[in-house]
Structure 1
Amino acid sequence: MTFTFTALLCLGLTLGLGTPGLAGALPKPVLRAQPHSVVSKQNKVTFLCEGATGANEYRFYKETYQYQWRREISQNPKNKNKFSISKLDYHHAGQYRCQYQTPDGTSEYSDPLELVVTGFYSKPRLSAQPSPEVTEGENVTLQCDSQQAYYCFSLTKEGPQQLSQTLDSQCITYTGQYQALFSVGPVTSNQKWIFRCYSFHKKSPQQWSEPSDPLELLVSGTLHKPTIKAEPGSVITSGSPMDIWCQGTLDAEIYVLHKEGSQKPWGTQTPEKPENKAKFSIPFVIHLDAGQYRCYCYSSDGWTERSDTLELVVTGVYNIKPHLTALSSTVVTSGGNMTLQCVSWGEYDKFILTKEDQKFLSSMDSQYIPSQMQYQALFSIDHVTSDHKGTFRCYGYYKQTPQLWSRPSNPLEIHFSGQSEKPSLVTHQGHILDPGKHLTLQCCSHIKYDRFVLYKLGGADFIQEDGQWTQSGLSLANFTLGSVSSSTGGRYRCYGAHNLSSEWSASSDPLDILISGWFQVHPSLSVKPNSTVHSGDNVTLLCKTAYRMDTFILSKEEAAHQPQRLKPKYQAWESQAEFSMSAVTSDLSGTYRCYASAGSSLYLLSYASNPVELTVSGLIGTSSPPPSRPMTTDASEKRDHTVENLIRMGFALIILIVLGILVFEAWGSQSQRAAGM
């Protein structure tokens, strides 16, 4: 595309030049300005007038002057001459002509040269509508505007030697806005498109303002697009350093980084030696750096395509950090489901969940929970695989600024549980403990695991212990939890693992640890029909309290199984629960206690009730003797001989006792007679 040089529309000036004495057959001279006809004030400009060979005098004229502005006499006749102005000012702006003189006469005047001096007013602003990112072959609208009352604007384009070419000028009528729109295009990708604009008054059209900041159009060409990446990552903490890399080809002359919404490149890099990449450094990231970035390359073949978009997110902009938990467990199994909860007492529009490698990224609208006076989002992951293990965090942000996030939540480690044999988790101190007692949980397995892991439901941390091997072939680990407190209560699981694998075994069965004495309530426990029953009978243990409780728990001393839980029935001013046992056996004999819990504290209990002893005899019923089995003849005879022998032994024993008494009485009589003599 070749741009047509358009004369300034706001001119209309006339030159009052004197008539040359012998103008005629000599060729018309050419007047040029170096370095350019648009020059900033306080800079130097040189006028060069080129005529015919043998010219011995050159004259330079300026508008409004009736006589020559400058006269230069050549010592040696030549075809050109020049003069310079070292420091330009407003009175130097205007139209110039030149002519030369030879022994044969005086030449015509040159065509007028417009000398524009800039820097007299504050600079306007130049922008591309809607964006400086354009595609090859498109037209683009450039807008030049100023907050001061300038009614004329001029647009220039920088050429290969950084010289400006005036493309167009416009004068506007007052509309309350001082701006002009210039249409440029269609653009091509084989050159650079750099523009500036100026403002000026109608009455002084050669006295321009300072130039606007340069605006470079980023033309998406057909050359292979570069790649863009951020180090250490595209999610960066406020105040941290980071680098953005743009990688293209070795013949790239310029690398340009552009931020969406900006009217000028974020930065440009010109490699000093052949290099296929450029680094754009941000030593101290702030919230203004957040946004979407692309990069481009320019070479002798033209512009490349634009790179993919890099979205730079700045975290830590808002101080209220959310809290991330797993609703079920932080250990997941293949094919299962997982739900992560992100909550905050600060009002955020949205929450976002990230993984350390940023492979998983999900955003959810926040929901207000009035009962908790918190905002939350639930992130559900179906069909979990081993790829889901790792460290997760969540952030809060607002819809208007999606790249500005809060401080991160605490990290939540998600582990993957495989299909190897599950271990067993046991407690030797019982499932219900008083505060202050010491608790040790043991995880054991027939599989020789190198280590064991203990996890508490709702917790973020794991306890790991090396495995020990017993002579019987068991591998085990003891987890000492120390003195029991309210925080000890909860549901525990354990896992086994091999050192060479990051995958854990299947989960043990859950083990609940309950803490008694947390509520100042003493429930009562009774047995119906009575505390001594026979095997096969039905028994009901009734636990009740005068307080309104949510759950009742029945526990048997030294039982390996978990305590039973029941929701209460409410009657009048009391609540109660009936624990029914059908067809009891002697295994159910023992000492029972019951407890109550309230609210969401599932693992914090009341004081224990008084103990109740349940005795289950081995006989079934009371009216019918136990059935007898038919005996053989030999067995009957053996029974008869045994009874007969027992009777004989009894009679013999009675006779011996009688004889003993008689002997003792005879000995006593002889002793008395001897004493009387």
Structure 2
Amino acid sequence: MGLEAVLFGFVCLIEQRIWAHSGPLPQSSIWAVPGAVVSTGSAVTIFCRTPPGVSIVCLVHSDSHRECHDFTMQGAQEVFEFSLQNVAHVDAGDYYCDYYKEDRWSALSEKLELMVTGVYRGKPLLTVDSEPQGLSERNVTLLCHPPTFFDTFIFCRDGNASFPQNCLRQDSNTFPISPGSSRHRSTYRCFGSYRNNPNLWSLPSDPLELSFSESSTSDYILQNCLRLSLAILLLLVLGALLLDACPLPQSSIWAVPGAVVSTGSAVTIFCRTPPGVSIVCLVHSDSHRECHDFTMQGAQEVFEFSLQNVAHVDAGDYYCDYYKEDRWSALSEKLELMVTGVYHEKPLLTVDSEPQGLSERNVTLLCHPPTFFDTFIFCRDGNASFPQNCLRQDSNTFPISPGSSRHRSTYRCFGSYRNNPNLWSLPSDPLELSFSDSPGLTVVWGSVAAVCFLLFLIFLFICLCHHWAKCRTTNGKTRSQVKYKSSSPAPDIEENNKYDDLEGIQPENGSQVDTQVSAAEDSQEVTYAQLCREICLERMDSHTSSSFQDMSTQTCVYAALTLSQEEVQS
């Protein structure tokens, strides 16, 4: 029963390890460009970002509508786009992304709530409780007057009528600004909606611009600055210098469908920046700088730069930067764009032997160039126009050691030169490798069985050590209770049917044990002791211990030992 419990525990532990290793697929991310609030009839693009190696991506609408696309032929990409043209009220709602990889579907992404304005033709009126010009540190309340009965009101700050920004949805048609200051100086709009359809909004109100005077605030700051000591003033100056020296967050850059493209194809480079950025630049390695002002396109964080009909001059390193808070950010991480087909020579890719049925053996791929190339690129997966998982090296040999099922794929090779590493030749013909996995699986399961057996032996050894330590403790207690004379002969042993605990002990030398205590013998004393069989065998002499060979299977017995007073005194 104990062995079965141990084996069951080991099986559960192995299943938990396997589950922890596989685990759920990473969750994808979702966003909309130019924003999540769009007007009726406009266009919006929803982007889904997934881990590498994903080809099937789906966009799920809240009304259970599911749109899936197979992007396998578009190469290695991590950002997939779904375009919604001529947006209508049926397009409003919640959107999610998921993808298919490793024979299973991922969990849904975070929710993207898409709002559509202009569905209700009524146009609200936005007013303020008093003339805002010249307001200084006072309470201001905006009022949204609906032309019909709306039970939900949306106040938006910044943006434009088609793509409003910084919106707040609430049940009340009043929007307090308390206290009003220069940081509230902006353009406001309001919309009307209903609770049962919170994603459908009315037409926007006319814009209302608020500005605040800072004269009293400046006087208050000036009076406080005059009261500050020289030490505090120096600390403020140092703090301001440190704050200005803090760099802006770095932007991120990637290419769709990938960073390796063929001559004549198209590629889109995306730059992701923090919120509130309008001017974004794409910097090429040859110092060419392309900047765009995206102010009129609403609140967006992802900006795209399209390269059509790619040629050899487009290859190289690309960076992103942006302008915010009167300063430029640092350059993003490098995006290395490679262009294939620049050199019209086509290499030949071979393998050292026929790959079909290979099983756990060394395999070497050979790239034979038609001309002198000093750099070779081996790519796994993808297609001729958009290869994936590429490795660039100086040697034309690519070892796979040992080959297994995880190397089963389609391979291609390219040629290039060290002085122009971003310009590649035409791809070789595809070479497919397949491997048999039977010996590998045998080794894996054999290893698992060996580990389980080793753990079982360790557990058994711990149990034996624990039992031995327990007997040692009992031995110490027994020796403190029993007194004997070391020079006296071995005690006589005799079968006594009067005590059930001594049944089964057969004496060999005819000696007897007196297990009865006579009340008349005043010169003797009786001591009761608990004797363990193992301890007795350990302490007895070699010739005496032979008389215990036929002892009962009981571990411990209780006996009454009669010792003379002389032996006790000695």
Same fold (TM over 0.5): no
The structure that is strand-richer by fraction is 1
TM-score of the aligned structures, taking structure 2 as reference length: 0.32
Question: How does the TM-score come out when normalised to structure 1?
Answer: 0.27
From the two aligned structures, give the one with the greater helix fraction: 2
Higher relative contact order (CA 8 A, sep 6+): 2
